[in-house]
Amino acid sequence: MALYNNKGEFITSHSMPTEGGGDGYGYDLAVNPKQNVLLTSSFTGYANYMRPLGELIKDGEAMKKFGSSMVLWNLKTMKPTKVFAVPGAPLEIRWSLNPKDNWAITAAALTSKLWLVKQDAKGQWAAKEVGTIGDPSKIPLPVDISITRDGKGLWVNTFMDGTTRYFDLSNPEAPKQTYEKVTGKQINMISQSWDGSACTSPRRCSPTGTRAAPTTSSSSAASPGTEASSRASSRSISPRRSSAARTT
């Protein structure tokens, strides 16, 4: 990780841990200032990242060189304090935006699993698998997630099957999928507004102010007070490297 000040000046860097279960890979980072913690996830190295995914997944040795951990850091000292075993290349990290909550969620790209990071009754941080995205045997490849402002829902885009899904997070330890729609080939990033409408690409939107939760029978979806807007890529098959176009 590289640390910069508000002027954009480089201050220092911090290496991802390779001991205590750390694999040395990095990807996303997310801060919880109330708890003085920073979470990082792990993807893969440069060689794997630059290869076409269809070719890569057929290479057994290369598939062993993916991240399988998340790291908890002390935000003030920038020292790693705990390494969690999270197999399958965990990518995006989202802390709940609800002030009453104290947990984060991530999606593992290669295993199509949702993982929850939270404190236990003794105040110890732990990570555990809590949900499944699509059919993991087909490697749907979750590439982006977006959490609702109340922490009660999660949008997930899966790259390989071009599908947008919505999970009810009322109980973050047992997410329930309530919506699914094939949005477009090689779909990638997803984002939300706060005005109550919802959109995915191809353009299908519910009216502003809609408060209905997503259902599996609907062609448009609105989570409470959110808008989801997806992007589909027609070229790259590497997460974060696609030339995605916003189509909503």
Q: In the chain, how many domains are there? A: 2
Distance CA 201, CA 245 (A): 10
Tell me, yes or no, whether 89 lies in a domain. yes
Do both 123 and 224 map to the same domain?
no
Tell me, yes or no, whether 179 lies in a domain. no
Do both 38 and 147 map to the same domain?
no
The whole-model pTM stands at: 0.81
Do both 3 and 118 map to the same domain?
yes
Tell me, yes or no, whether 38 lies in a domain. yes
pLDDT at 54: 82
Do both 49 and 163 map to the same domain?
no
pLDDT at 219: 33
Do both 117 and 38 map to the same domain?
yes
Burial class (CB in 10 A: 0-12, 13-18, 19+), 68: buried
Tell me, yes or no, whether 192 lies in a domain. yes
Is 174's pLDDT higher than 90?
A: yes
pLDDT grade for 229, boundaries at 50, 70 and 90:
low
Mean pLDDT of 113-117: 98
Distance CA 181, CA 60 (A): 31
Do both 116 and 163 map to the same domain?
no
pLDDT at 194: 67
pLDDT grade for 1, boundaries at 50, 70 and 90:
very high
Average of per-residue pLDDT values in the chain: 83
Tell me, yes or no, whether 205 lies in a domain. yes
Do both 96 and 64 map to the same domain?
yes
Distance CA 154, CA 115 (A): 12
Diameter over CA atoms, the chain:
51
pLDDT at 179: 96
Tell me, yes or no, whether 7 lies in a domain. yes
Tell me, yes or no, whether 178 lies in a domain. no
Mean pLDDT of 185-212: 58
Distance CA 158, CA 203 (A): 18
Mean pLDDT of 95-119: 96
Domain containing 144: what range? Answer: 138-171+184-248
Do both 146 and 83 map to the same domain?
no
Tell me, yes or no, whether 219 lies in a domain. yes
Do both 108 and 160 map to the same domain?
no
